[in-house]
Chain A
């Protein structure tokens, strides 16, 4: 039997002989590393999930014609048109967005006025599919419109006495269109006073084919990259003005930073405390093996060799615990993200290294500390049981 095989044999037998203890240590190490895995996965996917949630606050970038005035915003404070309307070419904006390579959800809007009965109504042309996806705060009574149907803002509906099912014949610059009211929208914002028509239909009615007045963008980006996106988009669209909606953009940034920091602190606290407790348990088991160490020394084992055996044992426990912990932790993380965000957690390969590392580190740390004191033992005295 070579020396190496003998060493391995010794380590395996030492672990196998003390089954209860081995299982206990494995369980503890697995628990610590599964904590590390679960917290790691949850906090790294937290950022993305919260960023997604935060998008429900609305667009963070808007694109308007350069000469136009800003008339958007939330909070329901808006004023009628003060200046002559100006337009953007829809195809131009789409081209610029495609070229910039920015990942963004977009919705195109065209503002205009349609004549109905004796008054001019403010009308917005939108793509209802985009609206449903990107404006989750719209509260719609009735149904989402199909072709030839429109949605009316709550306040406008109240003052004009409109209800779902009513027919309206509206006159535009180009042609007169017959529209059917399919739903009433309440948002608490400027939408309450508007009439919403499908974008192509409004463009036809107003003779503004391919023109839009406003693009709302929801860019998935944090920190500086939002500003960079704004700048790069600006360069691609000379006739337009790209501005950052500070209400959503800046606030979200601050919030994301806070959530990240909170998760980091929580992870650190849990890991340090669970870690020290696990290392403590490891130490307890090594401390009690003074006799074994004494015997090994008496038989002529050098310090390095004895150390090797014990470290080998600890490393083996650490690796096994790490693997078990990674599996357990992934399941826990999966459970958390599924219950809270109803989405599966990201599979992050480097987390496996972290969980292995945590488990190995704790195992070695736990056995290393007490071993130093055990080595100082005189083999004769420890064997005699003094």
Chain B
């Protein structure tokens, strides 16, 4: 009996049912899409902000710039506790050299570095490390160096030496010569424009500093500094220190990296780190508020559309009462109706919302998104709860009607 009533209630008034279905589907879709991206957005934004450049600098602990770090320690950076937070790093070795090209001579800085080196660390996936990854704002006209004697040159230095890409520059350090083929001109608007960048190995040989580097820039995903993070680690109790070490503050990641590099000290680059923290905090709270707003809106629109459709059915209810149905039977008919529509709407809405999240993530961040599995039951159950909440008030009013009055008109 109940089943027959339900079946006919759907088949005889397809338009009304469709409208409720539409509203529930849309509500569930928005909820799914927002819950799906809200969590991811903060991670994606943090990754996005990493393109501002390295936020940790490792230098030799000897105060007066004379010391060096060991190149063999570098792969250890990918094995530290916070290894998954480290998005990239690049070592540098500097020296002053006499550059000459086509009769012009200039004193300048020669830097050895990794451009995009395939780094193999036992027990870890192969990763690409180097300047190309951590400094995406470098504009290279030409291409990045691949061979040992290829180099890119800063725009200002190139102008003074009057070389273009395809040219050659000879570097002279204490009587040793090295010929570099210039394959690109780099523009950054910073000090890099005064330097010549060549593969690390070549510069190590030129400067007679085999296996040594003078600085390492590390780009790491960190959480914004809060009051606890600002405390001086040396004054912390053991438990506090543990907590500090296990939170990805820029200071604790720096400390973590410092421990694996012999004779080093790592310091956060506050210009980058503090701005990043502030920005991330704000973007996250905007997303949170918008999510609350969107969830609230979809809940309201679903429940109002149910109210609208329920309120006009007092005649139906009166008739049911007149033929002897009790409140429980009437309620079960209407709640059954709502249940079916909201479950179907919730499922369809989940898939639409999933797609929406995917589209947003793809257009904005160029990456896919994985909606968490718990969203599926959540979408259906919340669609049902919201739908029931919307229909309870009008249903209760309808149940109070006097059949005779209503049926008389």
Q: B201-209, B239-247, B292-300: which lies at the A interface?
A: B292-300
Q: Shortest CB–CB separation between residue A41 and chain B, in angstroms?
A: 12
Are B269 and A188 within 8 A (Cβ)? Answer: yes
Are B311 and A250 within 8 A (Cβ)? Answer: no
Q: Shortest CB–CB separation between residue A54 and chain B, in angstroms?
A: 7
- Among residues of B, the one whose C-beta sits closest to the C-beta of A136 is B274
Chain B residues near A281 (CB-CB < 8 A):
19, 23, 301, 304-305, 308
A284 to B305, CA, bound (A): 8
Chain B residues near A92 (CB-CB < 8 A):
none
Are A69 and B194 within 8 A (Cβ)? Answer: yes
Q: Which of B1-31 contact A (CB under 8 A)?
A: 15-16, 19-20, 22-23, 26-27, 29-30
- Among residues of A, the one whose C-beta sits closest to the C-beta of B191 is A73
Give the total number of A-B pairs whose CB atoms are below 8 A apart: 246
Contact of B272 among A69, A74, A336 (CB under 8 A): A74
Q: Which of A351-379 contact B (CB under 8 A)?
A: 370, 373
Contact of A77 among B22, B92, B275 (CB under 8 A): B92
Are A276 and B293 within 8 A (Cβ)? Answer: no
- Among residues of A, the one whose C-beta sits closest to the C-beta of B31 is A273
A284 to B312, CA, bound (A): 10
Are B311 and A262 within 8 A (Cβ)? Answer: no
Q: A19-27, A104-112, A200-208: which lies at the B interface?
A: A19-27
Instruction: Output the residue of B26, B41, B217 with the most chain A CB within 10 A.
Output: B26
Are B270 and A245 within 8 A (Cβ)? Answer: no
Q: A55-63, A144-152, A311-319: which lies at the B interface?
A: A55-63
Are B138 and A246 within 8 A (Cβ)? Answer: yes
Are A269 and B308 within 8 A (Cβ)? Answer: no
Are A138 and B26 within 8 A (Cβ)? Answer: no
Q: Shortest CB–CB separation between residue B375 and chain A, in angstroms?
A: 16
Contact of A57 among B57, B187, B275, B312 (CB under 8 A): B275
Are A56 and B278 within 8 A (Cβ)? Answer: yes
Chain A residues near B282 (CB-CB < 8 A):
49-50, 53, 340-341
Instruction: Output the residue of B48, B94, B294 with the most chain A CB within 10 A.
Output: B294
Q: Which of A236-255 contact B (CB under 8 A)?
A: 243-251, 254-255
A56 to B273, CA, bound (A): 10
A346 within 8 A of B: no
Contact of B293 among A38, A139, A284, A341 (CB under 8 A): A38
B59 within 8 A of A: yes
Q: Shortest CB–CB separation between residue A358 and chain B, in angstroms?
A: 13
Are B137 and A250 within 8 A (Cβ)? Answer: yes
A72 to B188, CA, bound (A): 11
B363 within 8 A of A: yes
Contact of B53 among A20, A31, A42, A74 (CB under 8 A): A74
A52 to B391, CA, bound (A): 46
A79 within 8 A of B: yes
Are A336 and B308 within 8 A (Cβ)? Answer: no
Chain B residues near A249 (CB-CB < 8 A):
189
Chain B residues near A73 (CB-CB < 8 A):
188, 190-192
Are A277 and B301 within 8 A (Cβ)? Answer: yes
- Among residues of B, the one whose C-beta sits closest to the C-beta of A135 is B271
Q: Which of A327-356 contact B (CB under 8 A)?
A: 332, 336, 339-341
Contact of B109 among A21, A79, A192 (CB under 8 A): A79
Are A58 and B271 within 8 A (Cβ)? Answer: yes
Q: Shortest CB–CB separation between residue B194 and chain A, in angstroms?
A: 5
Are B188 and A74 within 8 A (Cβ)? Answer: no
Q: Shortest CB–CB separation between residue B122 and chain A, in angstroms?
A: 30
On whether A77 and B308 interact (CB within 8 A), knowing A57-B271, A62-B189, the answer reads no
Q: Using A77-B191, A277-B302 as known contacts, list a sample of 5 further A-B pairs with CB atoms less than 8 Å apart, ordered by residue number in A.
A: A32-B297, A189-B271, A246-B138, A249-B189, A284-B16
A-B pairs, 5 with minimum CB distance: A73-B190, A273-B26, A277-B23, A277-B301, A56-B275
